[in-house]
């Protein structure tokens, strides 16, 4: 039964980490995966996380099963973070939130849930989108289409094209939108453009699925989450996946959540009961530690403030790194204009490097995604010159 199984291709993002790990060159640089590194090239362990862990160690608890939907304190804190404690959807108990295995797990729960209750819907993802979106929704059984998004000529959003695509989608289609820090392009919509997108989604009767994996890496926690609240205020059915991998630097703990907005508290209770079946048949219930850490930080005012400060510091370092990157590129490759990198938001730069140029970088042990996406948050004062020199050489 196994003999005819072919080798699957490497994952377009995590496969790069595999190749990077296998590279014996001590000077290797990984600009592939979306992970924030500090200026020393280390993944930070946030102080707010360490302090929360110290609190948890002082209150040792047995590791019993969590409820299927996750830790209640976590679900509540996440819901309030995502929608606002005073929002109508929270006050009227129309929102449900379940702990998930990272943002990817949240997307998969949402996809499986939609497949059960709206199997005829087609899914639309941006062109381009996070490399895993298509595979994930396809594996849940959906036909996945692209909608116009990125314009390589301007390095920004082809907004007219996007709006036209939204208006042409069939009623009931699921539209996956990046709430902030678009992955991979770093090109976000303006507030006025979101107005028009929300209007098109509501008018067409589409099902918005907002993916928010980078809250706090764009303009700020509230600013980056604003679009979720605006969608929630419309009263349309809404799904939101969010992740704390990046914002808490808790990658390996796999802490995320899926929230769904219903039209009434009664409907929400029914949705939760069904979502619990999706969880139960996938992995039964989520792990304890990461959820406890995040819940402790979010519910403890000093730790929450510390988290906000630490997240702001990561955001600021990325912005400064963009500036330094552009400045250096101007020196080393003056005939090329990289000014657009400053306008991009979040961890990534869709650099415009071709697949061939990326392959040439790899010969120098510098790893990027084939599409030309590079993780700006992996650049630092020690590797910046090396990377810029290498880019200038391949251009
Ligand atoms: C990325 O886009 O690099 C991250 O979201 C990590 C991942 O799981 O792909």
CB of 33 sitting under 6 A from ligand 1: yes
Nearest alpha carbon, ligand 1 atom 2: 34
Catalytic entry in 75, 211, 224, 370: 211
User: Atom 9 (ligand 1): residue with closest C-alpha?
Assistant: 13
All domains of the chain in start order, with CATH: 14-45+304-394 (3.90.1150.10), 65-299 (3.40.640.10)
Give the pLDDT of residue 203: 97
Does ligand 1 come within 6 angstroms of the Cβ of 34?
yes
- Please indicate whether residue 132, judged by its CB atom, sits closer than 6 Å to ligand 1: yes
Kindly state if the Cβ of 13 falls inside 6 Å of ligand 1.
yes
Q: How far is the CA of 248 from the centre of ligand 1 (A)?
A: 15
Q: Give this complex's ipTM.
A: 0.95
pLDDT beneath 50, residues of the chain = none
- Index of the ligand 1 atom closest to the CA of residue 32: 3
Amino acid 32: pLDDT: 95
- List pLDDT tens digits, range 144-192: 999 999 999 999 999 999 999 999 999 999 999 999 999 999 999 999 9
User: Model confidence over 21-40: pLDDT tens digits?
Assistant: 999 999 999 999 999 999 99
Distance CA 374, CA 186 (A): 10
pTM: 0.96
Does residue 125 line the site of ligand 1, with CB under 6 A?
no
153 vs 145: CA distance, rounded Å: 22
Q: How many CA atoms lie within 13 A of 122 on its CB side?
A: 12
CA-based R_g, the chain, Å? 21
For the chain, count helices (H), then strands (E): 15, 13
Q: Is 393 a catalytic residue?
A: no
Compute the distance from residue 91 Cα to the ligand 1 centre, in Å: 33
What is the β-pairing status of strands 150-151 and 156-157?
Answer: antiparallel
Could you tell me where the beta strands, DSSP code E, fall in the chain? 29-30, 95-101, 123-127, 144-148, 150-151, 156-157, 174-178, 207-212, 238-243, 255-261, 348-350, 366-367, 373-375
| Whole-number pLDDT of residue 209 | 98
CA-based nearest residue to 243, from 235, 232, 251: 251
For 188, other C-beta atoms within 10 Å of its C-beta total: 23
Ligand 1 centre distance from Cα of residue 13 (Å):
6
């Amino acid at each position: 039964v196994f003999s005819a199984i072919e080798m699957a291709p490497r994952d377009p993002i995590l496969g790069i980490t595999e190749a990077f790990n296998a590279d014996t060159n001590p000077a290797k640089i990984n600009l592939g995966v979306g992970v924030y590194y500090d200026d020393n090239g280390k993944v930070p362990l946030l102080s707010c996380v360490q302090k929360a862990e110290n609190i948890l160690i002082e209150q040792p608890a047995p590791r019993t099963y969590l409820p299927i939907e996750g830790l209640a304190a976590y679900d509540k804190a996440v819901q309030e973070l995502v929608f606002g404690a005073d929002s109508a959807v929270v006050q009227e108990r129309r929102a449900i939130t379940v702990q998930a295995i990272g943002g990817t797990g949240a997307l998969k729960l949402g996809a499986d849930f939609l497949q059960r209750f709206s199997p005829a819907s087609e899914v639309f993802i941006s062109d381009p989108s996070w490399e895993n979106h298509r595979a994930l929704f396809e594996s849940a059984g959906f036909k996945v289409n692209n909608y116009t998004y990125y314009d390589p000529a301007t390095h920004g959003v082809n907004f007219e094209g996007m709006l036209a695509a939204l208006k042409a989608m069939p009623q009931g289609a699921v539209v996956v939108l990046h709430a902030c820090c678009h992955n991979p392009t770093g090109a976000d919509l303006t507030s006025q453009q979101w107005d028009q997108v929300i209007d098109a989604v509501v008018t067409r009767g589409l099902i918005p699925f907002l993916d928010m994996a980078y809250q706090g890496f764009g303009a700020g926690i509230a600013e980056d989450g604003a679009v979720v609240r605006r969608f929630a205020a419309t009263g349309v059915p809404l799904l939101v996946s969010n992740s704390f991998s990046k914002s808490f630097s808790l990658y390996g703990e796999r802490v995320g959540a899926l929230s769904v907005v219903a039209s009434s508290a009664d409907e929400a209770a029914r949705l939760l009961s069904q979502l619990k079946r999706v969880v139960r048949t996938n992995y039964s219930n989520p792990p304890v530690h990461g959820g406890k850490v995040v819940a402790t930080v979010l519910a403890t005012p000093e730790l929450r403030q510390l988290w906000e400060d630490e997240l702001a510091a990561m955001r600021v370092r990325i912005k400064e790194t963009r500036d330094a990157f552009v400045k250096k590129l101007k020196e080393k490759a003056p005939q090329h204009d990289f000014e657009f990198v400053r306008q991009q938001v979040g961890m990534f730069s869709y650099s415009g490097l071709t697949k061939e140029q990326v392959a040439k970088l790899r010969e120098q042990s510098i790893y990027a995604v084939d599409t030309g996406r590079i993780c700006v948050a992996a650049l630092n004062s020690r590797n910046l010159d090396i990377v810029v020199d290498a880019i200038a050489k391949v251009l």
